[in-house]
């Protein structure tokens, strides 16, 4: 009798295990959002580590196995994954997450992207869909969460109530955070900065910080010394005091500009885990406020 009870419990336990939705996400920030909405209903695996340039994730063979058993794939979109994901996705040939299917979620669809450009590679590694680094504006997090909630509800209608509830809770939590955060950032308004890549443009626009130029002359091209001197003169003329550097590009150019102009190099993580302190979405942005508005 006891044996049977244990067995039933075990079977029940196993069935709940297998009923979990396997979600593959391309970057760490998406994992946190999916977990906030899916809670214990989802099992999330991140394909691209925050250690590296999000444009150039190493297409490890192990990622194919993870894609082949995923029920849902959440990508940043806007061309950010174009350099590494397509062959993996083709190779996994998993109909559940094929582009266009219910399990394929491109969160850029929830965002009105900036810098939609005419597609010519003469301008470097540009994305005709627009600047894909929208996740760094904290006001874009809720629309992304909403899109993920809608898809989870469609994929798993039996639990749609709990997804709805989770989204509501998360939205409230995030709006409270934004209220505090926007207040903190208000002191930063009007600052002038130089960035390595057009990585923080959404954030800078939101908080009225002016980007005077980029260290790379065009996306995907390293700067020449002649270009750096031009940028240096521009920085001096405009009175730029901050250089925003990501964690993965070379730092020599930023250091050079800093010593010559007296500006300070500030390293800003581009995703959760890019620096140790940024271990959650809130911490990621708090890190920005701390490092920028000091």
Partner 1 sequence: MKKSIKGVLLCTVAVYAQSDIDNLETKLKEQQIVIDKMQREIEKIKKSDNLSSSLSQKEFLPDISFIINSSALYRDVKNSDYYNYYIPGFFNAGDAEIPFNKERGFNLNYVETSLFSTVGPYFDASVYFHIKPDAFEIGEAYVTTRALPNSLRIKAGKFKSDFGRINSKHHHSWNFDTVPLVYDAMLGIEGLNEPGIQLQWIAPTDDYLMTGIEALQGNNERSFGYTEQNSLYVGYVKAGCDISDTTALFGASVAYGKNGADGKTTLYGLELTTNSYLDAYSSITWQNELLYREYEEGAETVKQSGFYSEVVYKASREYAFGLRYGALFKNRDIGPDDLDRVTVMAEYKPFEMSRLRLEFSHDRSKIIDGTRESINEVILSLNIAAGVHPAHEF
Could you report how far apart the first and last alpha carbons of the chain are, in Å? 66
The span from the CA of 206 to the CA of 283, in Å, is 18
CB of 165 to partner 1, least distance (A): 31
Q: Nearer to partner 1 by C-beta: 79 or 130?
A: 79
Specify the residue, 131 or 261, whose C-beta has the smaller distance to partner 1.
131
Q: Nearest approach, Cβ of 109 to partner 1 (angstroms)?
A: 17
Nearer CB in complex with partner 1: 143/219? 219
- The SS3 call for residue 288 is helix
Comparing CB distances to partner 1, the nearer of 95 and 190 is: 95
Quote the tokens at residue 113: 């992207």
In order of 193, 241, 242, 253, the CA distances from 263 in angstroms are 9, 4, 5, 13
| 92/289 with CB nearer partner 1 | 92
Instruction: Centre a 10 Å sphere on the Cβ of residue 120 and count the other Cβ atoms it contains.
Output: 9
The least distance separating partner 1 from the CB of residue 68, rounded to whole angstroms, comes to 4
Smallest distance from partner 1 to CB 62, Å: 5
To partner 1, the closest distance from the beta carbon of 56 in angstroms equals 7
Say which residue the tokens 């063979």 belong to: 61
- Provide the minimum distance between the beta carbon of 248 and partner 1 in the complex, in angstroms, as a whole number: 4
Residue 150: count other Cβ atoms within 10 Å of its Cβ.
Answer: 17
Please state the closest distance from residue 225 (CB atom) to partner 1, in A.
15
Which CA distances in Å does 256 have to 225, 249, 252, 261? 10, 14, 6, 9
Q: 52 or 175, CB closer to partner 1?
A: 52
42 exposed, middle or buried (CB, 10 Å; 0-12, 13-18, 19+)? buried
Residues that bind partner 1 (CB under 8 A): 45, 51-53, 56, 58-62, 64-66, 68-69, 79, 82-87, 90-95, 98, 121, 124-125, 220-222, 247-250
Closest C-alpha among 66, 107, 110 to residue 88: 66
- How far apart CA 164 and CA 150 sit, in angstroms, is 9
DSSP state of 97: G
Find the helix or strand (DSSP H, E) in which 75 lies: strand 72-75
Of the pair 68, 211, the CB lying nearest partner 1 is at 68
């Amino acid at each position: 009798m006891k044996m049977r009870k244990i067995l039933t419990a075990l079977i029940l336990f196993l069935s709940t295990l297998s009923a979990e939705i396997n979600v593959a996400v391309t970057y760490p920030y998406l994992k946190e959002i999916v977990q906030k909405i899916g809670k214990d209903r989802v099992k999330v695996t991140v394909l691209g580590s925050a250690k590296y340039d999000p444009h150039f994730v190493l297409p490890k063979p192990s990622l194919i196995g993870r894609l082949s058993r995923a029920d849902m794939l959440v990508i940043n979109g806007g061309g950010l994954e174009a350099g590494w994901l397509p062959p993996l996705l083709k190779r996994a040939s998993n109909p559940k997450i094929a582009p266009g299917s219910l399990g394929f979620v491109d969160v850029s669809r929830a965002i009105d992207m900036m810098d939609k450009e005419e597609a010519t590679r003469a301008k470097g590694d540009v994305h005709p869909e627009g600047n894909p680094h929208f996740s760094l504006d904290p006001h874009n997090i809720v629309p992304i969460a909403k899109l993920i909630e809608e898809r989870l509800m469609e994929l798993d209608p039996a639990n749609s109530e709990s997804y709805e509830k989770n989204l509501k809770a998360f939205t409230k939590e995030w709006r409270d955070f934004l209220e505090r955060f926007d207040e903190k950032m208000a002191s930063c308004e009007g600052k002038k900065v130089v960035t390595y890549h057009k990585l923080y443009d959404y954030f800078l626009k939101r908080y009225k910080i002016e980007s005077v130029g980029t260290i790379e002359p065009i996306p995907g091209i390293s700067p020449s010394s002649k270009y750096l001197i031009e940028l240096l003169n521009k920085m001096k003329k405009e009175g730029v005091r901050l250089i925003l550097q990501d964690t993965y590009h070379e730092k020599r150019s930023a250091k050079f500009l800093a010593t010559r102009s007296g500006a300070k190099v500030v390293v800003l993580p581009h995703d959760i885990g890019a620096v140790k302190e940024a271990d959650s979405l809130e911490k990621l942005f708090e890190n920005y406020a701390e490092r920028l508005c000091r």
